[in-house]
Structure 1
Amino acid sequence: MNADQTHTPARAGRRVGACARVAVATTVSAVMVATSAVAGAVPRNPEPAELAQAQQAVDAGTGGVAAAAGALSSKEEEIANLELDMGGLREEINKTLVDLHDAQGSAEQARQAVKEARAELDQVQGEMSSAQDKLDEISRTAYRRGASAPVSGVSGNATSDDGLDRRTYLRTNAEKQRAAVDELDRLRTETANRESRLREARDVAEDREVAAEQAQTDARAEIDERSRELEQKNAEREQLVAQRDEAQGELDAARGHSENLDREREEYREYEQREQERKEAEDKAREAAAAKAKAEREQAAAEEQERARKEAEDAAQREREATAAAEKAAEAVAATQPEHNTLDNPYPSGEDAAAGDIAAVQNPSGTAATGETTQGNGTSATAQATQTSEAATSTRATETAGETAAESTQATTTTQAEPTATATGGATETAEETTTSESTTSQSGDSTGQSIGGPTLETADEVSEEVSGSVDGSREQRIETVIARAKSQIGMPYAWGGGNASGPTKGIRDGGVADSYGDYNKIGFDCSGLVLYAFAGVGISLPHYTGYQYQRGTKVDPSSMQRGDLIFYGPAGNHHVAIYLGDGQMIEAPQSGSTVQISPVRWSGMSPSAVRLI
C-alpha cells in the first residue's frame, strides 16, 4: 500500500469537514434570507370556518370516489370469476388433448394386437387343414389294405401276421393323428376367442378417441358463449372506470383548494416560528459534524461491500451450476412426453396398415432420461418393450413314430422359443413357439382397464422416479430450483396450450378469447405448461393438464401451504394452477393477454387442497 492509499481516509475526512462547513454556511444564509423575507410580508392566516368548509368538500368527494371504486371493484370481481371459468374451459380442452393422445395410442396398440391374433388364427387353421389331410390319407390307406386282406390270407401265416402288424400300425397312427387334429381345433377356438376380445378392446379405445374429440368441440362452443359475456362485462367496467375518474377529478379539485388553505396556514406558522428555524440551522450544523463520522463508516461499509461482492460471485457460480443441472433434468423429462399441441393422429389407420412406432411418437427424442439398457440378447430394453404383446400360445402338434400322443407346450416368458423338429412317418416338421405378453400404459391418468397387446411405455411416475433420483440437492434446494425456473420466465407472454419441459412453445387455438389475443401465434406458457416446465428441472414429469396435476403428489390443507406447493382452482383442480412462493405470493401464467407474473394469492375459487410434489 503506497502513501496516498494510506492517508486516503484522512483526506476524505478533511473533505467531508470542508463540505459540512460550506453546507452550514449555506443553510445559515438561507435562513437569514427567509427571515428577511418574512419580516417584509406577513402571510395570510385563513379563518377556521374557511378551513372546515374546505375539509367538508374533501370528505364529500372522498365518499363519491369510494362509491365509484366499490362499484368498479364489484364489476372487476365478476370479470375475474368469469375469466376463472374461462380458464377452467381452456384447461378442459387441455384435458381432452391429453385424453385424445392417450386414446390414439391405445387404439393403435389394439389394432396391432388384433392384426397379430388374426395372423395366428390363420396359421393354426392352415395347420389343422394339413393335419386333417394326413388323417384322411391314413384312413384311405387302412381301407385299401383291409380290402386286400382275403388275398393275403391264402398265402400263409407269415403273410397274415405281416398284414396284421401293418393294420395295427395304421390304426395307432390314425389315433395319434386324430389327437393332433383335436388339439389344433382347441387352439383354433382359443385363438378365435382371443381375437374377439382384442377387437372389443380396440372398439373401446376408438370410442374413447371419438369421445375426447366431442368433448373438445363442446368445450370450444362453451368458450365462445363465455367470450361474448366477458366482452359485455368489460364494456360495463369501462363505464364504471369513467364514473370513478370523474369523481376523482372533483375530489382532486377539492383537495387542491384545501391544500392551498393549509399551505397559507403553514406559511403563517413559519412566520411565527422564526426562532425555531434558527435552532434548526444550528441542528444542521451539528448534522454536518456527524457527516464526517458517517464518511468514515461508509469507508468501512465499502470494504464490507467488496467482501459481499465476492461472496455474490461465488453464489452466482453455484446458481449457474444448479441451472445447468436443472436443464439436464428437464431435457430428460421432455424426452418422454408427447407433443401437446398436435391434434393430428400420428398413427396409421386400418388393420392392414404397417405398425405405428408408438414408442417413437410418445418419446420423440428416441431415448429416455436414464438411457436405454441392453438386455442379454443385445436388444435394448426400449426396443424389447415394443416387441411384446398379449400373452397367448400357439403350439404346433408334434408326433413321432412310437410316441403315444401329440404334445402341446404351455406359454413361456421368452420372446421366441428355439424351433423343435419332430418326425412323422419319415417326414420332418419344424414347430415354432411364439409367446407374447399383455401390457397397456396410460401416461396421464385415464385408462379403460382393457388389457391389450402392444408396446409397454413408461408412466409419468416411473419417469419422475428415474430422473429425479439423479438430481442432487436437499428438499429446500430442489424447491428453490423449481421456483427459480418459474421466475426465469417472468414477463413471458401467456399462450394457451403453450409450454413443455424444455421451455415456452407456440400456443394453440381455443376458438374464443385466446384466439382474439393471437395465442396461437405466440411463444409462451399457459398455467399448466408453466408448472410442467418448472418441475421438470428437478426431474418430475407432469401432464399438460391441471386436473391431472392435481391428482399427483400429497394433498395438503391450503392453510398449511409451504413454499413450492401447487395452488389449484376449481372443484377438482381443473380451472387453474399456480406455484406458492410464501408470504401470500404465488407465481402464475394468468390468462390470455397477460404474462407470467407474481401475484397475491387469491383465496376465492381455490380447490379444497393444495398439492406438495417435493
Structure 2
Amino acid sequence: MGLLIAAVLLVGTGQAFAVPPPPPNPSDQDIARAGAQVDSGVTEVSGLVNDVAVADERLQVLDDAVARTREEVNKALVDLQNARDVADTAAAHVTDTVQSLSAAGDQVVRARSDFDDFATEAYTRPGATTMVSYLSAATPDAALDRAQVLDLVSKRQQSVLDGLRRAQIDQGNRNSEARQAKSVADAAAADAEVKKDAAQDAVAAAGAELDRQTVQRNVLQQARDAAQGRLDAARSTVSGLQDQRAVWIDWDRQRKAEEAAIRAAAAAAAARAAVDQAARDRAATLNQGSRPHTQLEATPSAPSKPKKPKPSSPSVHGSGAVETVVDRAMSQLGVTYAWGGGDEDGPTLGIKDGGVADEHGDYKKVGFDCSGLMLYAFAGIGVALPHYSGYQYNAGTRVPVEQRRRGDMLFWGAGGSQHVALYLGNGTMIEAPQSGDVVKVSPVRTGGIMPYAVRIVTG
C-alpha cells in the first residue's frame, strides 16, 4: 500500500508542483466586451472603407475634370494663336490697302493736274505744246479740226481720270473691308484671350479642388488605417482572451485532476492511518503523561518517579516507517491551521501569540501549526518531537537538502526557527503553512530554505 501511495503522490501530489500557477482567466464579460469592440471596429472600418471609396470616386471625377480643363486651355491657346494670326493678317491687309489707296489717289491727282495743265495751255497758249502746235492752223477748218482733236483728247483724259477714280473708290472699299476684317479679327483675338484666361482659371480652380479633396481623402485613409489598427488590436485581444480562457480551462482541468488525486491519496492515507492501531498506540504512549503544549501555568502534582526520556529514534524502520509518517500527515489534509495546535494524538486548540494568530482567532480553532503537524506524524513511529521547529532541526540526522528523500523534514529560517514541512518526494511537501490557511501539499520553496534536511528514518 505504501508503494501505491508513493505512486499517487509522484503522479498527482501538490497542485502547485504538478500544476503551474494559475494563468489569467478572463471573464465572459471581458470576452464579450472585447467582442463588442471588434464589432464596433468592423462597423467603423466598413464605414471608413466606404468613405474612402467615395472619396476615390470623387477624386477620379476631379482628375477627369482637371484633364478636360487642361485640354480646354490647350484649345483656348490654339484658338488665341489662330485669332492673333488672323488679326495680324488683317492688319497687314489694312496696311497694304492703305498704301494702294494712297497710290491711287496720287495717280488721280497727277492725272487731273496733267489734264488741267494741258487744257490751260491749249486755250491760253495754243503753241505751247507739241500736239497743239501740230494741230494749229490758220484756216477755220483747221481751227475746227483742232477743236475736235482737243475735244477727243479731253474725253480720253476724262476717261482715264474716271478709271483712276473708280480704282481709287475700289481701293477705298477694299481698305474699308480690310479695316472691318481687322476689327473682327481683333475682337476674336480679344475673346480668345478672355477664354484662355478663363480656361487657365478653371484649371487652377479644378486643381485646387483636387488638392482639397486629396487632403480629405488622405485624412479618411489615415482614419481608416487607424481604425483598421484598432480592429486588428481588438481582434488580437479577443483571440488572446479566448486563448487565455482555453489555457485556463486546461489548467483548471489539470488542477481539478491533481486535487482529486490528492484527495484520493489523502483518503487512502487516512484510511490506513485509522486502521494502523500500532501507530496510534505508539503515539498515545508518547502523549501519555505529557503536559499539554497549551498549558501555560504549572499545576501541582503528587511526587512520582522520574519520567523516562521520550524516544527520539523510531521504533520501526524502513520504507514502512516512512509511509506511516506520510500517511499520518496526509490524513490531516484540510485541517485548519492553529498556531500552537497539535500533539501526538492529533489537532488541538491553538493558543494566543499576541499578534497575527490572534487576529485570525487561532486560539479558538482546533488544528495544527507546522511543528505540531510534524510532532503528530512522527509519533506514529514512536518518535517524540518537541513542539518547536528550531528544536526539531536538531532531532535527527542532517543531510544536504539537495539529497532529501521522502519522509525527511525541511526547514526555513535561522536554525530552522521559521518553518518546517515534511518532504513527500517529486518536489512536493506537506505543511501547515500559516494562520488563515489549512494543512496542504505544496511545492518545495527554495527561498530561505536551510541547507540541511533532517532525516529521522535512516534505515
Whether TM exceeds 0.5 here: the answer is no
TM-score (norm 2): 0.42
Q: More helix per residue: 1 or 2? A: 2
Higher relative CO (CA 8 A, sep ≥ 6), structure 1 or 2? 2
**Structure with larger Rg:** 2
TM-score (norm 1): 0.32
